[in-house]
A and B are shown apart, each in its own frame.
Chain A
Amino acid sequence: MKLKSMFAAHGGGKIDTKWTYDAKAPIVSPPAIGDLSGTGHPHIVFGTKKGTVICLNHEGKELWTFNASQQLSQVDSFFVDEDRVHSIDAAPVIADITRDGHLEILVGTEQGTLYCLSANGRMLWSHDCGGSIKASVTVDDINSDGHPEILVTSTNNKLTILRSTGEKIFEFMEDAALESVPGVLKSKKTGRTMIVFGNNNGELIAITPGQEIIWRVPLESKITSAPTFFTADEEDRMVIGTHAGDLVCLSEHGEIVWTFNTEGSIYNAATVADLNKDNDPEIVFSSCDNTVYAVSSQGKRVWSYETNFWVTTTPIVTDLDKDGHLEVVVGSYDHNLYVLDGTGTYVFDYVPGLSGIVNQAGHYSNILTSDPGEQTGKKIWQYMVDSIIVGCALLEPENEKQLIIITTKNGKVHGISHEED
C-alpha cells in the first residue's frame, strides 16, 4: 500500500516519511533510541519476531544485526510456537550500565535470555531468566552503590536483579507471571527507594532493594505497563494502567488516589507532561478503546481523541513543529500515526433553539446549568502507513529536525518528520 500523507486542517506544514527500512520480519515492539557513537546522531535499535536485533543510524541505514535466537533440539522444537519462539517482544533499553562513557544495549527474548550488547552489536554477556521476557528492563542504581542494576521481569514469576556485569544479585518470586516493566521510585520525602511492578494476577507490588514487601495493592486485572511517576500536591504519585481499562493513581504508600476508567485494556505506560503549561502535570495515555486520553493530575479528563482502532503505544509529547506548543504523538492499530494538539480544543454542544431548530429535546434552563461544551482532542496531522503501528519513539539529532520513529507489525521502520509547506 502506498504511504499517504494528509495535510493538517489547522497545523502549519505536514508530516512525511524521511526514510523507510524493511526488516523483512514482523516487529511487535517499539524501538529504542540512543547515541551509540557519541556523535550527536542517535541510533535506532529494535528487535524482530524472528529474534534479530537491528541497529540503524538516524538516516535509516542498517549498521549491524545480532542474532538473539537460540537453536532448539528436534524434540524441543515441537513444544514451541515456531511463530513466536524467537520473538523479541519488548523494546531494547540503551544505557551506560558500565559507567564507562559508552552505551550498552539490553534486550530480552521470548526464550528467556537477556542479552547485553556493546554499541557495535557484540555480545558482552547474557543471562538466562528461565521464563519469557515480555517487558523492557529497567536500569537504575537501586542500592546507591554508584553502579546501576538491571531489573528484569519474566513469565516464570520472577523479578531478577542483575549487576551491570550480568551477575545475579537476587530473584524475587511472585505467585503469577510478570510481564510488566518494573519502575524505581526514589521518594522525595523519605529518600526511600522502592521497586514497583505489576503481575498477571492484577496486583501492584512495591518492594525495597532488600526484597522486603512495602505494599501490595490488588488492581483486579493483569498489569503489563510500567508505572509512571510524577509529583502532584508536593506528593510522589504513580499511575499505572490495567487490562481492565483502569488508569490508577497511587501514592507512594500504595493508597489509591483516583481511578480513571476506559473501555479498553491499557497495555503501555502513560506519559506525564505539563501540556498546557499551568505548572500542573497532565497524564497522557492510550487505551484499546481506540482512544488517547489526557487527564489532569487529579484524574479529571482534560481531553480525549478517538482513533479507528486500538492504541497501544506510549504517547510521545514533544514540540514537533517548534511553534512553542506541545504535541502528543501516538500510533494506532488503524495504521495511522496521529499528531494531536497538546491542549485539545473546545467544542460547543448543541444548544436547543439556538441553531434555528426549535423542536428539539432539552430545556433552555440547561444553558444556565451545564457547560456549553467540552474540551476534546484535536488532530493536527495524521499519517498512514501500511500496517499496524506497534511502537513510536522520538529521535532528536543535533542541529537537525526531530524524527518520529515508528515500528510496524509488517517489519517496517519509518523515520517521519515535520516539514514546512
Chain B
Amino acid sequence: MAELVRDKHEIRRIKTYVNGLDENLQGGIPEGHITLISGAAGTMKSSLAFNILFHEAINGKNALYISLEQSAESLVTHMINLDYDFSKVDLVVIKDLSELQGRIQQMSRDKGSMFIIDVGAIRKEIRDITLDNNKSWLNVIKNVVKKITLEAGAKLIVLDSLSALYVLTRLENPRIELFMIFEFLRDLELTSFVISEMPLDGSKFSEYEIEDFLSDGIIVIKLTPFRRQVVREISVVKMRATACNNDIFSLEFKNGQFYALYGGQNPLL
C-alpha cells in the first residue's frame, strides 16, 4: 500500500517526455497514477506511451508494454523508424508464455529492461487450447503483469489497448470488472498508461465511460483538420494531484522528440 504523502513536494512524478507538456503538469504524472491516453486511430497514442516507457528504461527503470493486437515486430519497427535507439535499453520480447520465467532470469542488470508482451503472438501459439470457464485472457494479462512487476521489478506499464481487451475478454459486468482491473494495477503500485480508442467524433474518451472516472488522469490526443492539413492536438483533461494546464496544445514529433506547442484551438492560425 502506498504511503500517504505529507507535503506536495513529496509527490514523485514520471515525465511524459513531451517537451512543453511536463512543464504544465508540475513536472509530470504522479507515480502510481493510472492515466488514460485517449485518441482516434493515427493520433500517436501508442508512440506517446511507448516514448514514456522507453525514456524511463533508459533511466534504468524496468517497464512493461502489453500489446494486445499490434505485433512486437510492428511496434519496434515503427519506433525504430522514429529514430529510437534500442541499444540503450534491454528489450525483452515475449511471444511464448513458457519463456517468460527464463527471460526474467536473463534480464540485464546494467540497463533498464523493457518487456514487450506480444499477446497476439501468444494467442496464435496456443490457439488450439480451449478456454473453459475458469480460464481467461484477462487472467493471462494479470498473471504476466504480476510476475513481471514482482519478479522483474517493473515500475511502469502500458496496456495497449482497452478496446482490444474488451474484445478479448468479453467483460460480463464492465463496471465491476474494470474497477477490479484498475484496482489490480493500483495494488501493484504501477504507474500505468491505458490506451483507449476514441471514436472519430470525439464524443467520449472511452468505451464504457466508467474508465474516465476510474483513471487518475486523462490525456486526449485529437486530429484536427485545418484547411487541407491535419494537426495533432494534445490536452490533459484530468490529472489528479496535479495543478495542470488543461489548454489544448498542438502535438508534434521532430528529431525523435515529442513537443507540445502552445497554439490554442487552432495552432496554425
Give the interface of A toward B (CB within 8 A). Answer: 74-82, 84-85, 110-112, 130-132, 155-156, 177
Contact = CB atoms under 8 A, between A and B. Distances in A.
Interface string B104-122: 0000000000000000000
A156 B143 CA distance: 23
Given A131-B132, A177-B133, 18 more contacts: A74-B97, A74-B98, A75-B98, A75-B126, A78-B140, A78-B143, A78-B144, A79-B129, A79-B131, A79-B137, A81-B142, A111-B134, A112-B132, A130-B132, A131-B133, A132-B132, A132-B133, A155-B133
A112 B132 CA distance: 10
Contacts of A85: 134
A82 B143 contact: yes
B136 interface: yes
Nearest to B135: A79
Contact of A81 (B97, B126, B134, B144): B134
A331 to B, nearest CB: 24
18 contacts: A74-B101, A75-B126, A76-B135, A78-B97, A78-B144, A79-B129, A80-B143, A81-B139, A82-B143, A84-B134, A110-B134, A112-B134, A131-B132, A131-B133, A132-B132, A132-B133, A132-B134, A155-B133
A79 B139 CA distance: 5
Nearest to A134: B133
Interface residues of B, number: 17
B214 to A, nearest CB: 20
B134 A77 contact: no
Looking at chain A's contact residues, the main secondary structure is: loop
Contacts of A131: 132-133
Nearest to A179: B133
B136 to A, nearest CB: 7
A79 B140 contact: yes
Contacts of A155: 132-134
B139 A78 contact: yes
In the complex, the 10 A-B pairs of residues with the closest C-beta atoms, listed nearest first: A79-B135, A155-B133, A78-B143, A78-B140, A75-B97, A78-B97, A132-B134, A81-B139, A132-B133, A131-B133
Contact of B133 (A74, A78, A156): A156
B68 to A, nearest CB: 15
A85 B139 CA distance: 11
Nearest to A109: B134
A74 B99 CA distance: 10
A82 B138 CA distance: 12
Interface centre among A75, A110, A131, A155, by most B CB within 10 Å?
A75
B139 A80 contact: yes
Nearest to B137: A79
A156 B98 CA distance: 27
A75 B140 CA distance: 9
B134 A80 contact: yes
A80 B140 CA distance: 7
Interface centre among A76, A77, A78, A110, by most B CB within 10 Å?
A78
Contacts of B142: 81
Contacts of A177: 133
Nearest to B172: A200
A420 to B, nearest CB: 46
B98 A77 contact: no
Contacts of B144: 78
A98 B134 CA distance: 31
Contacts of B137: 79
Nearest to A82: B143
Interface centre among B98, B132, B134, B140, by most A CB within 10 Å?
B134
Nearest to B140: A78
Contacts of A84: 134
A243 to B, nearest CB: 12
A313 B179 CA distance: 27
Nearest to A75: B97
A132 B136 CA distance: 13
A131 B135 CA distance: 10
B150 to A, nearest CB: 12
A323 B178 CA distance: 52
A77 B143 CA distance: 8
Contacts of B136: 79, 81
Nearest to A76: B135
Contacts of A80: 134-135, 139, 143
Nearest to A84: B134
Contacts of A78: 97, 139-140, 143-144
B19 to A, nearest CB: 39
A341 to B, nearest CB: 37
B18 to A, nearest CB: 34
A131 B142 CA distance: 22
Nearest to B100: A78
Interface in B191-205: none
Nearest to A111: B134
A209 to B, nearest CB: 27
B151 to A, nearest CB: 14
